[in-house]
Structure 1
């Protein structure tokens, strides 16, 4: 055991610095300073507001309450002993503390541990050991009921030296498990569909880094399912269960398992690039549908959560906590030891208790309204045990109505589609003057088995009449919003089917906006936060189509004059100069004999903004005519308007200090505009060079 312990107390949390080496071996600098100040100043309840105000990826990533979803669902008995390796800034520490009797954290960085301690200072069962895992590990107990590695296992080769660092890391951790303990690993799937679709590798920030099997020295490595299984087998682990967090483990909203896989049309929340730019190479929702159809979801899921040890009873989880506190709940499907399937809804906050209680009354009201209609209402019963309240429902077999409608659209069976839709309108419109209505009668909330239609979710039930046409129009609106592939549906015909005017449709859409504000408590949804925080969404197919339609006008051509003037023979195209539709970024090699260099940024009228022009690392002076001459009209020192299909920028490189081989770095933004518009703009600008 280690003598002379050095322990600090922050609130109720113990910070054990006994094995801290004295300095942080990694640090995000000013970002961590800002995070520390925020958690010192504001309570957790203020974090959602701060995320919206700061519009910062690190603030979102470290402070979002949705980060807790990845462990919140794990069934832990009262008093369990938990180890969290790589606890970072404490994104999940609070959730583990609430579930555990005793929680031990291990974290290399003192600054991050301070952030963790201050944000969770009311937790009285937490000790954070600061230092290198290899130094701390020998002194850790060997009877943990749970060991959690959330976004940590991929760094195994950084923790452990040797030929097989991941196997060694896992074997070391397993020694600290109690006999019936479980080890939890959350990790990105190296072959996650999002990476094929154009997301950058999460850790390296490179396109296809994991798919291309990483490079030596990358310092991090994720795995496909089989890769993880090989590691488990090498460590003699036979008992493990795979779960599939969606859209990934960081901001999980749904958790699937091999016992409960997603259905077609369910995986539509795919644009989640909060941290960096991404490409969209194909429609992920449709691709996922094919993956599901071919039973390959376990191969292409974006993330894995693996439970080593006895499998939990939970088979599926859906989180609805991107909402106001009074409506934050978790829905889960479990299977008990007798094989009975249970569907339950749980409050995620004290404020949400009343929302759960209201479900029983909603069931009673809807059952009375729809008795004899052909629309069954899934039975709800309130349960309470050890001070915990939840709502229990029957597990109902069947196919979601939305999937049946999709099948009709896929076969172009419009008669079948409208037949189902009319049946839906008839059933939900039954007894319409009864003062109880489920506002959320969307197609995914109705399961169909033969002639049996069952409403399985009625969370948004109100004690008032709502016109069936309004409920049906909202269902159609949500159906179209979920999947752009359904845009072939004739909305005008749907409105005629329902007898809805354009004015009523606009009114219903405005009501939907207000309803969403009601649900979120005026907070921004994660999709809106992505717009504030996230990177660009780039569509290469559109660039290609644009190039083809424009006759290859977005090409950069370079001419060299070595004293004999310009000529086509002494020119060349730079194939990869355009990094995206509007951006040139390239480095040219220019030998000493070149006196003048001409760059044609495009083959059409355009506006060019020069972001960088350096010669051997030194900026080229572009103001005045001394070094740069152009056939365009300069709007300012960096922007040039070209009202010609032969735009060019000429540089007197022979007058710049040089060497045998010189490097000219070029970064330009190029925007094509019609020639007449370019002429009008050029005429309004005084020519400067």
Structure 2
């Protein structure tokens, strides 16, 4: 049985609407591309107009279609062939606002993914045949192209011009596409369109002798194409690690910082052809101001400009005002949240209706900390959305990085954080220590047991403003738990993200000062591993987390082979 048939079976046999647990044993990335909830991260933060009409071109097996049905009034999804169209109809059979069609070209049999794109690239007039299947009066508020544009070897302008005619007066086109100069490809990763390393860097257009069709774009090529077809109002988003499974989304108004590795995980479908680790290159890329040129993917939001409907409003009323997005779709419906920056405000909201409780918990934690006299960034709760002011001051972790060679200052910050952890909650008797319920070694020096331990009182979740620490985004807590667990997390993640501190203040000294004997440290490490496994659903999302590593020895060997 082929992969397509297997995907269809997963859809047919699923009753919950979420397939992550069903496919967790699969090894091929294609299953997760079509069925994982993480795919929704590309658009689940975007503010679609209520009641809008959307056209999705190249819907695959419907990974994104259900999201569009939730957010829009009516969705027309066009799959690459009838087999996939039937799968989408089955997957969303309870949706009454969805119409599913398949690609159709007179005289062309479309069976595989590539048949349509190959056919129109061979004869651009077939683009007109395809577009002729739409009614002259069809107009859409949104047209979505996800991983479609780069599949064409030619005819990109003709294809887009035809779709532009289907846009409503203030309609938008959202185009997610690969960057042929993406950093992962410059590091040797096999390219999505061709499956061949470095092909796009050489131009990679059409059939280049390896039986490959397709043309991925550079940033300037994409923008020139958009202008040429009349989409003169446009804004680029840069999803990281790429458009398939975004964890963060940047824009030209909010580009990544040097500490990008603290928040973004970089996966590799196949790391055997790599000659460098992209994660290690981002600091230099950012320092030299070339991130937009080497972003792995683009998400272009575009609309017709002054050619027909007047100039696009640059104030943000027309194009999205969002400048940055952080996503936790991998956590599942109850815990998946997004944080977006819009102008001078930051919003945190649930990605699913089930996530309202998590938003309420964040707000409750911050308010409780404030009531204990701890400095926090002001949070405002309206419904299930938390708003807070955008702060330009550095995160404490970033500040600590600038003083990483100053032993006394680093030690002083650790002491401040420990004092604030102790201040955050009342103590309870040691007999109420929850962790004693599931550890064998109960006679350790647990230190103070707090009624509530706020787990994120660490440098990544606070700002450093005029010499003071201000907390924000306190999502997780433990009741009747050792205060040392919060301090353990502070120490652990500080040394992971700023390892050079070890040169001036060895972690062994810090452990000793705060009473972390080795047995206690290992218990907390096991607790942390359990927490991370649970919150990130490592079992269900194994396909992603198993692909995070690189083979240093193989990369060196690959580099040496280039000399032969």
Same-fold call, TM > 0.5? yes
Aligned counterparts of 1:299 and 1:91: Cα–Cα separation in 2 = 28
**Match for residue 365 of structure 1 among 368, 378, 395:** 368
CA-atom RMSD in angstroms: 2.8
2:150 maps to which residue? 154
Aligned counterparts of 1:402 and 1:327: Cα–Cα separation in 2 = 25
**CA offset digits 1:478-525 (Å, max 9, x no partner):** 3444577777673213312423111111111011122224424x6526
CA contact (8 A) 1:279 1:538 kept: no
1:128 maps to which residue? 100
SS of residue paired to 2:61: coil
**CA offset digits 1:197-249 (Å, max 9, x no partner):** 23211221111121222154131111121111111222233211011101111
Equivalent residues in 2 for 1:548-563, closer than 5 Å: none
SS of residue paired to 2:403: helix
Aligned counterparts of 1:256 and 1:184: Cα–Cα separation in 2 = 15
CA contact (8 A) 2:204 2:216 kept: no
Aligned counterparts of 2:421 and 2:550: Cα–Cα separation in 1 = 41
Equivalent residues in 2 for 1:142-541, closer than 5 Å: 142-157=138-153, 165-214=155-204, 216-217=206-207, 218-267=212-261, 269-274=264-269, 276-309=270-303, 310-335=318-343, 341-369=344-372, 371=373, 375-384=374-383, 389-409=384-404, 412-430=405-423, 433=426, 435-464=451-480, 466-467=482-483, 469-481=484-496, 490-520=506-536, 523-524=538-539, 526=541, 528-530=542-544, 537=551, 539-540=553-554
Distance 1:539 1:97, change over 3 A: farther
1:35 maps to which residue? 7
SS of residue paired to 2:202: coil
SS of residue paired to 1:245: strand
SS of residue paired to 1:200: coil
Moved more, 317-326 or 88-97: 317-326
SS of residue paired to 2:509: helix
**CA offset digits 1:167-201 (Å, max 9, x no partner):** 22221111111111111011111111111223211
**CA offset digits 1:40-66 (Å, max 9, x no partner):** 111344511122123332221210011
1:399 deviation in Å? 0.5
**CA offset digits 1:49-92 (Å, max 9, x no partner):** 12212333222121001111111112112110111111111111
CA contact (8 A) 2:266 2:548 kept: no
1:264 deviation in Å? 1.7
Moved more, 253-262 or 420-429: 420-429
Distance 1:443 1:282, change over 3 A: farther
Aligned counterparts of 1:167 and 1:295: Cα–Cα separation in 2 = 30
Unaligned runs of 5+ in 1: 1-28, 158-163, 336-340, 548-554, 556-574, 577-689
CA contact (8 A) 1:84 1:104 kept: yes
Aligned counterparts of 1:270 and 1:156: Cα–Cα separation in 2 = 30
Aligned counterparts of 2:205 and 2:151: Cα–Cα separation in 1 = 15
Aligned counterparts of 2:61 and 2:502: Cα–Cα separation in 1 = 43
Distance 1:243 1:531, change over 3 A: closer
Aligned counterparts of 1:82 and 1:486: Cα–Cα separation in 2 = 51
**CA offset digits 1:135-154 (Å, max 9, x no partner):** 34222444211111011111
1:382 deviation in Å? 2.3
Moved more, 57-66 or 427-436: 427-436
Moved more, 395-404 or 487-496: 487-496
Aligned counterparts of 1:113 and 1:444: Cα–Cα separation in 2 = 44
Distance 1:110 1:71, change over 3 A: same
CA contact (8 A) 1:47 1:64 kept: yes
**Match for residue 22 of structure 2 among 34, 37, 50:** 50
Distance 1:236 1:130, change over 3 A: closer
Distance 1:38 1:188, change over 3 A: same
**CA offset digits 1:357-410 (Å, max 9, x no partner):** 2223212211112x1xxx5212233213xxxx322233233101111222233x
Distance 1:465 1:532, change over 3 A: closer
Return the index of the structure with the highest Cα Rg.
Answer: 1
2:314 maps to which residue? none
Higher strand residue share: 1
When the two structures are superposed, what TM-score results if normalisation uses the length of structure 1? 0.67
CA contact (8 A) 1:56 1:533 kept: no
Unaligned runs of 5+ in 2: 106-126, 304-317, 428-450
Aligned counterparts of 1:301 and 1:471: Cα–Cα separation in 2 = 35
CA contact (8 A) 1:187 1:304 kept: yes
Distance 1:494 1:195, change over 3 A: farther
SS of residue paired to 2:24: helix
Distance 1:270 1:347, change over 3 A: closer
Aligned counterparts of 2:392 and 2:527: Cα–Cα separation in 1 = 33
Aligned counterparts of 2:183 and 2:470: Cα–Cα separation in 1 = 33
Distance 1:537 1:327, change over 3 A: same
Distance 1:292 1:101, change over 3 A: same
The one of the two structures with greater contact order (alpha-carbon pairs below 8 A, sep at least 6) is 2
2:43 maps to which residue? 71
Distance 1:228 1:542, change over 3 A: closer
